[in-house]
Amino acid sequence: MSDTALEAVLRRDRTVVMAALVVIAVLAWAYVLWLAVDMAMPASTMPAGASGDMAAMDMSNMDMAGMDVGAAMAPGFRAWASADFVFIFTMWAVMMVGMMTPSVAPLLLLYAGIGRKAQADGRPIASTGWFFTGYLAVWIVFSIAATGAQWLLVRLALLDPSMATDSTILGGLVLIGAGLYQWTPIKGVCLRQCQGPIGFLMSHGGFRSAPVGAIRLGIDHGLYCLGCCWALMALLFVGGVMNILWIAGIAILVLLEKTATSGPLISRISGALMVAAGVWLMARAF
């Protein structure tokens, strides 16, 4: 294969991978947006002066149809059933895919390009899909933990129906904790691994020829991203798990931290602002 033909193939592969990532992210965000709209719809469409019986009947009918988003969110409304856990886990998993896919795109594109070149040289490596599978597996496990955290907060009546904490003290503590974490050494280590795809690959032995190895490499990268971003994801309980603007703001912050050359500075500035906002909330509480 000539150099010109190889370059054309590499460009095509990168285009295919980027298109796939865009589709995945768009579908995930569309699902989250649909949930947010569906969750707000019952309250906004309830006729003025509707009786409590009508409201209860409406919620019951929605629940029977499997479309009641708010029932599993509102504290004290009812205990979660198995279906509620599955629903909330799915919500978190899809949201994590939508939020984290853009920030891992540079590494996936690099992987796809080198993979094609390796195949042309007769030394094929495992496909990009295996690496991405390992990466997403980390966020799937995180989604299980987030579902458990949400269940606990609901049981303690610390979440309102919009899935934001209605405790000013708890909100302030989460903001302060997340802000302080932005300044920790472990945050810096994880961010450097996420920012430099080539450095990450070199420090972990390069690409893998077997699918299992590629999955493990994806898990390693996912763990660094988790170490970089888990505290930011906790902020969803402050602004609202279904607050689209809040979700988008956190996703943009994650993307800037990982792709901008000033990522560490962005991390520290945002951390200072979080601490200031948390202190302000705590001062209001007292």
> When comparing pLDDT for 248 and 64, which is higher?
248
Answer yes or no: is pLDDT of 43 > 70. no
- Pick the range with the lowest mean pLDDT from 27-31, 96-100, 147-151, 242-246: 27-31
Quickly state the pLDDT bin for 69 (edges 50, 70, 90). low
**pLDDT, average across residues 133-155:** 94
Quickly state the pLDDT bin for 134 (edges 50, 70, 90). very high
Quickly state the pLDDT bin for 123 (edges 50, 70, 90). confident
Answer yes or no: is pLDDT of 142 > 90. yes
Q: Is the pTM of this model over 0.75?
A: yes
Cα gap 256→248, rounded to integer Å: 12
| Listed residue (258, 212, 209) closest to 232, CA to CA | 258
Query: 184-235 pLDDT, tens per residue?
Result: 999 999 999 988 888 888 888 877 888 898 999 999 999 999 999 999 999 9
Answer yes or no: is pLDDT of 13 > 60. no
> When comparing pLDDT for 25 and 109, which is higher?
109
Q: What is the mean pLDDT of the chain?
A: 79
**pLDDT, average across residues 123-149:** 90
Quickly state the pLDDT bin for 55 (edges 50, 70, 90). very low
Query: 245-286 pLDDT, tens per residue?
Result: 888 888 889 988 988 888 899 999 999 999 999 999 999 878
Answer yes or no: is pLDDT of 243 > 90. no
pLDDT at 204: 84
> When comparing pLDDT for 182 and 12, which is higher?
182
Answer yes or no: is pLDDT of 49 > 60. no
| C-alpha radius of gyration, the chain, whole number | 22
Answer yes or no: is pLDDT of 61 > 70. no
pLDDT at 70: 54
| Listed residue (138, 120, 86, 88) closest to 8, CA to CA | 120
